[in-house]
Structure 1
């Protein structure tokens, strides 16, 4: 059996949808590395396909990526269940205007991705395709290879689950930036009072070291405790790095303002934030597992659909 010959148009057709495919894969999987892998696998399948039988390349490629992502999610489920400490998504650098809208930025936020972790692979894929990309139930049924009725049920369960667990407050992005800047200045200056002002009384800090670096294995809760944690950053050695050797920068991570902490030779942690109704920081996600920092370390700013 001969393989279909590739030509430049095949590559162009794939490249046209590459951003979409990564965006679908990342939201379903929560890791940039796995999303890149499923996009690469989709390219291999696309290259080998008889494209005379492909009426709609976008739908065809989305189906491949969705199914590869669900398959990978099922195979990594045990790893995530036995993970040391909290499992947080792999952060990615984004621009300040991710996909030209707050809704798109919110759909890659740590807050949402953490909630999506609690869904089944099917529910997660259906939620992403319906709520983020506005695919029809018919299109999703074809993509995930289930009946339309099964897809509608999964969408309903996922939507109810997410609405019950995700933060309900949307804060103006300029205000988010301002509060993050105050937090940044207070942390680097050891200013406990300012930290107390920008943190919600019941703020929760989640730290992901993955057993590779020392981190809190349970969430750190409460304004005083969390403020004390960050006020001390400039005075303690962290991962063998002296305070004077560490630098931090304010940037955009997962659609919102965040912080990247660097040693002379590597990225050592990222921070991202959720905000309460008063615009104070209500949740902090701290990713320090070196295996999850490659996407930030390579400096690529991801365009997301």
Structure 2
């Protein structure tokens, strides 16, 4: 009689620079299912992990922001294709954390559609939000949007896939790079989504995903001097908001507060979410030259 086979359990790591490292601290915490049973051990990311991710995101920024808008749209569409191919994997990820089969399918469909939505906006938001400005002198005056740089973000706690995608997509659609802290309670779908990113055409370092505790990392996310903007979507504790706002003022970091109750709602997607992470550059050009 053959011996009973032991399943090979998946190891969940972080996603930094196109690789899957363990946290430098060696710490983990327990990721539980909806009934409190152990699903896996997730990395408890540290300040050093975040600093490493920022350095890598900064290094990836020039290459990503210089890509054509059309190419960024192609890549976002490719992420959607790869997510479609891994549908069964995410059904298995979402089921144990409380999603019914129908709810999990709806969440995956919405995440795919959201990626395609922002893929369509990559080569259009400049036309919609840029402008030719009337001036009194003999000049052309143009206002154009440029990516702000490196963005740090908290993914929503209760929407570990659709919410995560809805945070990442508008940031990278506009040419920014990002470091995202996954849902603290339900981190596993975020790492599986990192596998989707890794198998698509997204250059390493454009999207970096950490797992860990908001309470520990909020100060580091908001105080790092090479982070240009920070985004969060949940209603954070008052003291955490205060810490983030005070730290952001040190380098005039833009804070985007986007509380969303229903990630399926049409108001959870908008081209304005792309422009939240853009800077307006105005250029003067003499007429006749």
Q: TM (normalized to structure 2)?
A: 0.30
